Structures are given as C-alpha cells and as structure tokens.
Amino acid sequence: MSSRLPGFSSAWKRFSSTSTFTAKSVPSKTHLHKPIPDEAFPKGYALNGVHCGVKKDPTVLDLAVILSTSPNPTSAAACFTRNTFKAAPVVVSQEVLDKSAGRVRALVINSGCANAVTGKQGTEDAWAMVRATDALLDPKPTGNETLVMSTGVIGQTLPISKIVSGIQASTSLGSGFAAWERAARAFMTTDTFPKLRARTFTLGGKQFHMAGMDKGAGMIHPNMGPPHATLLGCIMTDAAVSHRSLQSALTYAVDRSFNSISVDGDMSTNDTIVVLANGAAYPEAVEIDEHTDQATYEAFRDELTSFAQNLAQLVVRDGEGATKFVTVSVDGAASYEDAHKIASRISTSALVKTALYGEDANWGRVLAATGSIPLSTPLDPTRVSVSFIPTDGGGPLPLLVNGEPENVDEARASEILSAEDLEVRVELGLGNESAKYWTCDFSYVRI
C-alpha cells in the first residue's frame, strides 16, 4: 500500500522490499565550479580572499574584501534575515546602509564565526571590521561605506585582531577571475565548491557586467562539521542604478531567488544578500531609476532576478545529501503570494522530498502539501492538476487532472523520476499568477 499511483509497484518495491536500505551515493558537485574569462567580470571592483586565522587550517581562506574603485558613485542595497535574533553584522550593515543613504563602496566577509548572539562585543567587532575596510577606500569616506557579513559558529566572539590585521593586509587586490575566485572561496563553510558566476548583459544597446558569489544553506546532518545554515550572497554590477531602484530590484529578485529555495527550511540569524552598482562600465553613466525610465529599470531588474536565481540554484544543487534538483512550479494562482506560499509548502515538505528521493510518483503528497496552508483565495479541489515536467525535452506527464487521478505511463514516470533534474508543476485553475521554487530531495535513509 502506498499513495503512489496504481501500477507503481515495481518502482516502489526497490524501496520497500527490505528493512535495510542501500542509499544512493550523492553525486559530486565540483564540476559546477568553472573558470570564467576575466572580461566577464564587472569593471571597477578590486577584491581578494585571504586566510586571516578565524579557521585553523592555514590553507583555507576565511576573509574576503570587495571594494568599488569606480570614479562614479556606487549604490548599495541589501536584503537581511527576518529572524528576530539578528547577528551583529546584520544590525551593523543595516545601520551603515541607512546612514549612508545607500552609498556604500565596500564589503567585508568572514567565514568560520558568525558573530551571532555575541552581545555588545559582537557589535563592536562588526564595527571594527567596517572601519578597517573603510580605511582601504580611496578616496577616504566621510562616514562608513562598508557592509559586513559573517558566517560560522554562533555564540562565540570573533578573533577580531586577526580579522582586522587581515583586512589591513588586504592591499594586493585583483580584478580578474583569480581574485574573484579567492573571494568566493573565503565565503565557503560546508560548500563543496566556490559559488561564483558572471554574466554580460545589454541595456539600451550598451554592455554591462554582473558577477556574484554566494554560500550555501543545507546542512542537515548531525555528523557534518559546521551545523549553521547561513545564506550569504553578493552581486556586483558595473551598471549605474539609483539606491532606491537598486533596493526595489533586489527585493524583487531575492523574493524570486534566495527566498524561493528550500534546502533545510530554516532561516539563520545572519542571512544577507547584498548588491553593489558602481556605474564603472561608462564614465558618463546616468543612474537607472524606476521613476524616470521604467522600461530600462525593468530590464535591469529582470537581469538581476535571473542572475540571482542562478546563484540561488547553486546552493540547492550543493545541498548536503541532495541527489536531485527539483523545480516546483505553481501556476494559475489568484495571486503571486498564494502561488509562492504553495510552492514553498511543497518544496519544504519532508514527505514530498523523501518521495522524490525514492523516485516515487507520489502526487498524493504533493496534493496534501498544496492543501495544507490557508490562502487568500481558497483552492477548488476540482480544478487542481499535478504533472511532472521532464528535462529530456519530452512533454509533461499529467498525474492528476482537475482533481481526478490519471492512468499514468509507468515506464515514462520512472524515466522522468530517475533524472537528476525534474520539475513538479501544480496548476490551480484560479488565475494567472505563477511562482517557482527550487528544492532538493531528502536522502533520508532507514536505519
């Protein structure tokens, strides 16, 4: 018995016939880190990653400094964790962003210690990191122009003198792939590869660049080293964007990227995504603003969103123990918020995630997750459809159509489910709004 489709017994038996279980091996993800040509990176940034001593192993990088060297003004925007227990770097970065009215030229990140639940000392240490990095800026800032991020152990104070020394020694900054890669490596905690991407894009016939890095979430194993789940990311572009429009664009992008991934379903004290826009691509840069040129703003916003989705998806792919990358699409919702809520619920359901790991075409679990949250427009069970979308170019495989179970082609379902990438699509039949979420399977095993 199972809530699988009738006739799914053969796929099922592989998982139910014995009480012990041979787990699938988790595929290596290191091929996802690739060299990027120097010219793909945005102009006007200097950066580095070093070992300053937060981590014990001297070969492991733990501190990154990123400076804007653009002659044009640099805008910054950020999205911070909504957790009530905000770590010191979050509180300090928020204050820097507010006081500078979004004019920020630097970013400093350490891994190995989260500087969270560290009281007054923690706040002082975060400010010390800001001031030390401010001092690297040319021209010298009048106020503070550095944002700070930390990831690692909770409840321990930073080895702040080591970090400040490391920042002060960061004078040999680079701007090519090697420098970006060192910065990305300094972000890493349990990540199995540095998550670095760059892209070239065109706005109004002119070429711009965007590069970014992030570090991952999903650490759900008691035997893993660092059991923190912080999501940090930064994106740098050489386009010129006004602060308020950069914030609008980032909020929109983060909602559809970093807020649309599920690895372990928790929200850390340190989660932070930052974007800098320095206008270095063109000396005569005029800042993009949604109120003066809506079309260009939206084009930029969509580039940022798509790029943020790429970075966020790397985190899902590197989810600890993940063997599958699953896109959950919810279509036909009455509002984006409803669609996003359902996509989130499905993506974080342990029952759905274990069914995906088991390669079980279990629309019952998808349906139960779909129906389990209150929405602004109530669902009509007779309008809901569920299908699998393969990544091999084939058409969708309907499992449930308007509330009625389909008689499914078992061989085809097994084929789709055995792939590393697949999409689960839920159609609500209530409107025209959609949302996507990216999740991985739970490689839960029986003991």
- 230 marked among binding-site residues: yes
> Between 14 and 291, whose beta carbon lies closer to its own copies?
14
From 133, 146, 230, 305, the catalytic residue: 230
Q: Is 445 in the site for its own copies (CB under 8 A)?
A: yes
Site for its own copies in 187-226 (CB under 8 A): 189, 219-226
Q: One symbol per residue from 17 to 36: x for binding its own copies (CB under 8 A), - otherwise; what is it?
A: -x--x-xxxx----------
Q: Which of 304, 355, 416, 430 binds its own copies (CB under 8 A)?
A: 355
> Between 73 and 405, whose beta carbon lies closer to its own copies?
405
Q: One symbol per residue from 157 to 186: x for binding its own copies (CB under 8 A), - otherwise; what is it?
A: ------------------------------
> Between 396 and 405, whose beta carbon lies closer to its own copies?
405
Q: Which of 184, 229, 250, 277 binds its own copies (CB under 8 A)?
A: 229
> Between 199 and 341, whose beta carbon lies closer to its own copies?
341
Q: Is 432 in the site for its own copies (CB under 8 A)?
A: no
Asked whether the beta carbons of 96 and 104 are under 8 A apart, the reply is yes
Site for its own copies in 55-74 (CB under 8 A): 55
Q: Which stretch binds its own copies (CB under 8 A): 37-45, 162-170, 233-241, 366-374?
A: 366-374
> Between 282 and 444, whose beta carbon lies closer to its own copies?
444
Q: Cis peptide before 42, with omega less than 30 degrees from 0?
A: no
Q: Is 321 in the site for its own copies (CB under 8 A)?
A: yes
Q: State both tokens at 429.
A: 């039949």
CA 339 – CA 379 distance, rounded (Å): 11
Instruction: Report in angstroms the alpha-carbon separations of 114 from 87, 189, 365, 375.
Output: 7, 11, 36, 36
Q: Which of 130, 274, 285, 379 binds its own copies (CB under 8 A)?
A: 379
- 215 marked among binding-site residues: yes
State the pairing for strand pair 206-215/232-237: antiparallel
- 189 marked among binding-site residues: yes
Q: Which of 74, 75, 146, 268 binds its own copies (CB under 8 A)?
A: 268
Give the list of residues 6+ apart from residue 96 with CB closer than 8 angstroms, or none. Answer: 104, 130, 144, 145, 146, 147, 148
Q: Is 428 in the site for its own copies (CB under 8 A)?
A: no
Q: Is 259 in the site for its own copies (CB under 8 A)?
A: no
> Between 71 and 371, whose beta carbon lies closer to its own copies?
371
Match 């001297």 to its residue by tokens.
58
Is 272 a catalytic site residue?
no
Q: Is 89 in the site for its own copies (CB under 8 A)?
A: no
Site for its own copies in 95-134 (CB under 8 A): 112-114, 116-117, 119
- Binding residues for substrate, by number, are 189, 215, 230, 320
Q: Could you list the active site residues?
A: 230
- Binding residues, by number, are 189, 215, 230, 320
